[in-house]
Structure 1
Amino acid sequence: MSETANMEKHSFQTEVKQLLHIMVHSLYSNKEIFLRELISNAADAVDKLRFKSLDDSSLIADDPDFKIRITTDEKAGTVTISDNGIGMTKDDLISNLGTIARSGTAEFLTQLSGDQKKDANLIGQFGVGFYSGFIVADKMTVVSKAAGTDEAHQWVSSGEGEFEIAAAERATRGTDIILHLKQEEKEFLSEWRLRSIIGKYSDHISVPVEMLKPAEPAEEGKEPEPSTEFEAVNKATALWTRSKSDISDEDYKEFYKHISHDFAEPMTWAHNKVEGKQEYTSLLYIPKNAPYDLWNRERSRGVKLYVQRVFIMDDAEQFLPIYLRFVRGVLDSNDLPLNVSREILQDSSVTQSLKNACVKRVLSMLEKTAKNKPEDYQHFWQQFGSVMKEGLGEDFSNRETIAGLMRFASTHNDDQTQNVSLDDYIGRMTEGQDKIYYITAESFETAKNSPHLEVFRKKGIEVLLLSDRIDEWAISHLTDFKEKKLVSVTQGDLDLGNLEDEKEKQEREQVEKENQPLAERFKEVLAERVKEVKVTTRLTDSPACVVSSEGEMSAQMARLMASAGQEAPEVKPVFEFNPEHPLVKRAAEQSGDDFNDWTLFLFDQAMLAESGSLKDPGTFTRRLNALLLK
């Protein structure tokens, strides 16, 4: 390596500058993670070259023994992390170290608040990788030579807005990262300190992490001879290949941080070795906190795939469905070919079998957590519940299990905490009840205060309150659970089954017959606005409500489609009125324009209660004022 001339100056991507500033000031209390991140990156570089060399062994002919080396220079105040992995070209250095190639970066940065503790957690979810070096260094130098090339290049930056690129010298492939330590961070020049960090964070790395052996004690009066021999500081065996009895919880947690770049510990994990018809090892983790871009279904996802302990790819999404995109882990198969590609994985029967096994493993982990650690599961549901709901429409074979893991708000509780399971609901069913009732709405408050719930409250029947944007779509894929039909209280004729006795049915039929003329008068005024007008069986305190016909798209689904820019079919509601309500009785006494105004007022009021908004609130307000003045 030598000093170079002809430096090219480049500016960091704007988001990098923001992230660097916030990161350095937020992670000051956990400085030592820089070494974990840089060793992790070096191990990835080795894994990538190991895989590439399967097709081209000449790439490693000059140096077939992979390793990562950590050295210090007390005089220069530097720590150097070197690897003989795949290396980087000039373009790689610019793109990999000058930008953060992750979608949603700008949105992520807007979430940072200036609260150091909260920001550190967010940055941990984002993953800091290479940039963590600036926590302890005021300058970083990277010298890299890509495998199979003859040119090396140098990248230099103080992390304040610009970096420089120039040609450099490096005898062999790989990368050196030289940290020029800040004056107050010289503790990291201590070999003992570095060894302890490696033992704490990087013991599971499958590549040997080497440091110089300690110098032999010198004879009295003589200076000790500096050591020139390196030794491995870590165990250098892939963690998932070791026996579970030999792995501590701390080992599992640190390995999770290595593969996820998440600062928080995982919620739970499962480590399994399967032998027989198929042979594979899986180590799957469920994170404690959701990443900032969880809702981006296009984001990179999947487990790290190894075949016969050889790294194949970072994000093998073929082994987990998209609704489990938050799961992290490693899958090591003995049944796939070493030259496997994404296309082969897509069509492989082995892949499908492994996917089924991984999904069942993850769902089993969640069931155990829900049963044994309900508080942990409640936190999980708050973080990941919305994407788990996608599974109802995407994973038919596991739908019943996913439904059992669902949590809802309901009229059983006073707040919007989603902590009611379908099993809880069934366990509280009133005598004679054979259906699970639910309501979907724009917000929790709209659902909770909907007039559709009045008859259910009167009879003491619990109703699930669904207000997440995805709920309407998700619940449409769940028609029943444990032989109990799920029924929307806002669609179709209300059928209370055995909850309504014969006397109530006869009285209802008599009221409907007596008020048929009024229904026809309402229908004449409302005309094309509604599909039908009828006497309601749902209301006890409100004058009217609107519902969707059985089998038709609900009004909530139509609104969701419209908000997403999709064309939704026109949905005409069914207008139901409560003939015992004083306002309905007042309307029935009117004639001419007065009856028209009362009818339209009752209809708009019902629409407002159902959707929380009106197409023409001005006209509604004027009509209401006029009626009040009369």
Structure 2
Amino acid sequence: MSEAAQKETLGFQTEVKQLLQLMIHSLYSNKEIFLRELVSNASDAADKLRFKALENNDLYENDGDLRVRVSVNKDARTITIADNGIGMTREDVINNLGTIAKSGTADFFSKLSGDQAKDSQLIGQFGVGFYSAFIVADEVVVKTRAAGVDASQGVEWTSKGEGDFTIADIEVPQRGTEIILHLREDEDEFLDDWKVRSTITRYSDHINIPVQMFKEEVPAVTDEEGNESSPAEPAKWEAINKGTALWTCEKADISEDEYKEFYKTVAHDFDDPLTWSHSKVEGKTEYTSLLYIPKRAPFNMWDRDTKNGIKLYVQRVFIMDDAEKFLPSYLRFVKGLVDSNDLPLNVSREILQDNKITQSIRSGNTKKILSLLDRMAKNEEKAQEYATFWKEFGNVLKEGPAEDFANKEKIAKLFRFASTHNDTAEQSVGLDAYIERMKEGQDKIYYITADSFDAAKNSPHLEIFRKKGIEVLLMSDRIDEWLMSHLTEYSEKQFQSVAKANVDLSDLDDEETKKEQEETEKEFSSFVERAKTALGDKVKDVKVSHRLTESPAVITTDENDMNTQMAKLLEAAGQAAPETKYIFEVNPEHALVKRVADEADEEAFKEWVDVLFLQATLAEKGSLEDPASFVSRLNKLLLKVTA
């Protein structure tokens, strides 16, 4: 093999360059996490070897004692993290250490602000992994060889964390990966054995393979007569972590800090989790689950190409990351793991598809998470925690009613909305609280969907509800209209959009009010007929409205017709929305409507009705197909009135 083929210099992917610069400058207050990340990666490499060896035991190469070894060389100013796991080929090294193989990276970097504190949090959401080495090192050398290949097929990767890296073929006698960090001049604290030991113990005590450091030689102890009372102990490797899978321990034996540190390793997150559930299930299906609710949403939660799921272990043997079949998609924000005693060790993603054991675990995990969230939502002391959860993951949870019919009621119980009860944008109103405040005789849960909170709050559809003191849920998230097409009732109460023509509050009116409304409808019957003629096929119908108190007119949709927000959703998704003809409702008590009703000139009457209709359309849809024409027509009418 030629020298050119053995050694070459390659450029980093653009995103890697950005990430390296951000970590060097933004994570100065979290430097020690590089040990957590590198030890975690080494442990993953051991897990992957254990799994691959189920089918090919020769991969162990007569060394099945898996471990991670960390050593400090003060003279050379280096820290070395070495494992005897699966190792990497030359292609693996280029792909894994030269690129960030994550979808959505461009979107992630577009959110970075240049503010070190904020960017540090974002990087924590993104995950740093191997590149965290450059937080403390000005040069990193990786020596690796894949399990099962010849020693001559080793690879050495070297970089100073700038624009490129060098890769060369070398001889590596033992499988696995060795990472050598050449520390920066100002990172002397990590040349202290005690500092390194305590950091690993803090962050990686739960790693389920031994993490070893070198124990210095202990000299012999002699008595006063010079006799050796205690023989010298030779230098040797010793485990500095418990080496026990944390999820296999009894809950009473695990501290909160241990749970939190384990989460950070599993999720590659900087923040503590909001809460977690640790349970062992026995019976027909036996498994252990340790599931966490993060504090912040990952940057790529809405990226369809992102793999979601939890880690799968079978009888404590790591099988796969991102095992998506153990939780429904609307709970994809959950991190953690499941360890099954019943699945076969050689289980694959295909086998998991329709496996009864998988379905049982999925059902159990779903109930645990929904119960966990319900307890958090009910606990007044954790109100702020639940508000944090809802802000980060509420829109994902709203996918639940369409996906999980069996748990629809439990999911809806967790929802929070803004409402006319407090008229603030804060989404803090639960459906149970809404029902408790319902007026006597009210049998429906009223809501409105709009493009924004202000558009919902100021909608003319709310006027009669405010007058009667009836609470309306104000929904302005993009997903809300789609949600309400699947969530039709809660606690035996039907949902009713206030933008529909079939809204009927007559049960809340007294007989005198009903009589007055009937008389008004008779009085305006001729106006209604003239308006129908004027508008023609632009509308489905014209009615006298009793829902308005301040606005002259409003448009509504028939019960079975698609409303405005759903049509906008389809159009945003690139789909053609069916044409909807609106029902035009006029307020007979409004001075402008009375003025138009008295207009004897049919041409002028038609102009005024058109303007009223377009005004109502603008209020409902937020835009018009021909706004210039509307403005011109309105100006002409204003000139006539003021002339």
Alignment TM-score > 0.5, same fold: yes
Shift of 1:510: 2.6
Shift of 1:429: 1.0
- Tell me, in whole angstroms, the C-alpha distance in 1 between the residues paired with 2:424 and 2:31: 41
SS at match of 2:187: helix
**What are the within-5 Å matches in structure 2 for residues 276-355 of structure 1?**
276-355=283-362
Shift of 1:218: 6.6
User: Do the aligned residues in 2 keep the contact of 1:103 with 1:299 (CA within 8 Å)?
Assistant: yes
| CA distances 1:429-463 after superposition (whole Å, capped 9, x unpaired) | 11221111000011111110000000000000000
- Tell me, in whole angstroms, the C-alpha distance in 2 between the residues paired with 1:90 and 1:569: 55
Q: TM-score, normalised by structure 1?
A: 0.97
- Tell me, in whole angstroms, the C-alpha distance in 2 between the residues paired with 1:239 and 1:142: 29
| Number of the residue aligned with 1:534 | 543
- Tell me, in whole angstroms, the C-alpha distance in 2 between the residues paired with 1:240 and 1:23: 31
User: Do the aligned residues in 2 keep the contact of 1:547 with 1:573 (CA within 8 Å)?
Assistant: yes
| Number of the residue aligned with 1:187 | 189
- Tell me, in whole angstroms, the C-alpha distance in 2 between the residues paired with 1:136 and 1:478: 52
Shift of 1:522: 1.2
Which range moved further: 493-502 or 43-52?
Answer: 493-502
Q: Which amino acid aligns with 2:268?
A: H
Q: Which amino acid aligns with 1:133?
A: A
- Tell me, in whole angstroms, the C-alpha distance in 2 between the residues paired with 1:438 and 1:394: 22
1:470 to 469, 479, 494: 479
- Tell me, in whole angstroms, the C-alpha distance in 2 between the residues paired with 1:285 and 1:8: 43
| Number of the residue aligned with 2:411 | 402
| CA distances 1:83-112 after superposition (whole Å, capped 9, x unpaired) | 011111101100101111111101111111
Asked whether 1:426 is paired with 2:405, we answer: no
| Number of the residue aligned with 1:507 | 516
| Number of the residue aligned with 2:228 | none
Instruction: Sort the Cα spacing of 1:497 and 1:230 in 2 relative to 1 into closer, same or farther, 3 A.
Output: farther
- Tell me, in whole angstroms, the C-alpha distance in 2 between the residues paired with 1:46 and 1:243: 25
- Tell me, in whole angstroms, the C-alpha distance in 1 between the residues paired with 2:6 and 2:60: 30
| Number of the residue aligned with 1:602 | 612
| Number of the residue aligned with 1:234 | 241
Shift of 1:384: 0.6
Divergent runs of 4+, >6 A: none
| CA distances 1:356-377 after superposition (whole Å, capped 9, x unpaired) | 0000000011001111111110
**What are the within-5 Å matches in structure 2 for residues 419-498 of structure 1?**
419-498=428-507
User: Do the aligned residues in 2 keep the contact of 1:212 with 1:231 (CA within 8 Å)?
Assistant: yes
| CA distances 1:478-527 after superposition (whole Å, capped 9, x unpaired) | 11111111100001322125312333233223322322221121122222
| Structure 1 portions without partners, runs of 5+ | none
User: Do the aligned residues in 2 keep the contact of 1:265 with 1:288 (CA within 8 Å)?
Assistant: yes
Which range moved further: 490-499 or 476-485?
Answer: 490-499
Asked whether 1:67 is paired with 2:67, we answer: yes
Instruction: Sort the Cα spacing of 1:53 and 1:129 in 2 relative to 1 into closer, same or farther, 3 A.
Output: same
Report the RMSD for the aligned CA atoms in angstroms: 1.6
2:569 to 541, 544, 560: 560
**What are the within-5 Å matches in structure 2 for residues 249-268 of structure 1?**
249-268=256-275
User: Do the aligned residues in 2 keep the contact of 1:83 with 1:176 (CA within 8 Å)?
Assistant: yes
1:629 to 636, 639, 643: 639
**What are the within-5 Å matches in structure 2 for residues 85-164 of structure 1?**
85-150=85-150, 151-164=153-166
- Tell me, in whole angstroms, the C-alpha distance in 2 between the residues paired with 1:463 and 1:142: 61
| Number of the residue aligned with 2:593 | 584
SS at match of 1:9: strand
SS at match of 1:438: strand
**What are the within-5 Å matches in structure 2 for residues 372-387 of structure 1?**
372=379, 373-387=382-396
| Number of the residue aligned with 2:45 | 45
Shift of 1:4: 11
Shift of 1:215: 2.7
| CA distances 1:228-266 after superposition (whole Å, capped 9, x unpaired) | 410100000100001111110000000000010010000
User: Do the aligned residues in 2 keep the contact of 1:392 with 1:475 (CA within 8 Å)?
Assistant: no
- Tell me, in whole angstroms, the C-alpha distance in 2 between the residues paired with 1:393 and 1:502: 41
- Tell me, in whole angstroms, the C-alpha distance in 1 between the residues paired with 2:629 and 2:588: 25
Q: Which amino acid aligns with 2:297?
A: A
User: Do the aligned residues in 2 keep the contact of 1:494 with 1:537 (CA within 8 Å)?
Assistant: no
| CA distances 1:298-325 after superposition (whole Å, capped 9, x unpaired) | 3111110011111110110001111111
Shift of 1:227: 5.5
- Tell me, in whole angstroms, the C-alpha distance in 1 between the residues paired with 2:156 and 2:91: 11
- Tell me, in whole angstroms, the C-alpha distance in 2 between the residues paired with 1:509 and 1:10: 82
SS at match of 1:551: coil
Shift of 1:5: 9.2
Shift of 1:198: 0.8
Which range moved further: 211-220 or 341-350?
Answer: 211-220
Instruction: Sort the Cα spacing of 1:94 and 1:357 in 2 relative to 1 into closer, same or farther, 3 A.
Output: same
SS at match of 2:75: coil
| Number of the residue aligned with 2:226 | none
| Number of the residue aligned with 1:212 | 214
- Tell me, in whole angstroms, the C-alpha distance in 1 between the residues paired with 2:304 and 2:414: 21
SS at match of 1:131: helix
SS at match of 1:399: helix
| Number of the residue aligned with 1:168 | 170
Q: TM-score, normalised by structure 2?
A: 0.95
Q: Which amino acid aligns with 1:332?
A: D
Q: Which amino acid aligns with 2:366?
A: V
| Structure 2 portions without partners, runs of 5+ | 223-230
User: Do the aligned residues in 1 keep the contact of 2:217 with 2:236 (CA within 8 Å)?
Assistant: no
- Tell me, in whole angstroms, the C-alpha distance in 2 between the residues paired with 1:109 and 1:306: 33
| CA distances 1:514-567 after superposition (whole Å, capped 9, x unpaired) | 222211211222222211111112101110000110021111100111122111
| CA distances 1:342-365 after superposition (whole Å, capped 9, x unpaired) | 111111011111100000000011
- Tell me, in whole angstroms, the C-alpha distance in 2 between the residues paired with 1:148 and 1:527: 80
User: Do the aligned residues in 1 keep the contact of 2:144 with 2:178 (CA within 8 Å)?
Assistant: yes
User: Do the aligned residues in 1 keep the contact of 2:61 with 2:148 (CA within 8 Å)?
Assistant: no
- Tell me, in whole angstroms, the C-alpha distance in 1 between the residues paired with 2:38 and 2:5: 27
**What are the within-5 Å matches in structure 2 for residues 70-81 of structure 1?**
70-81=70-81
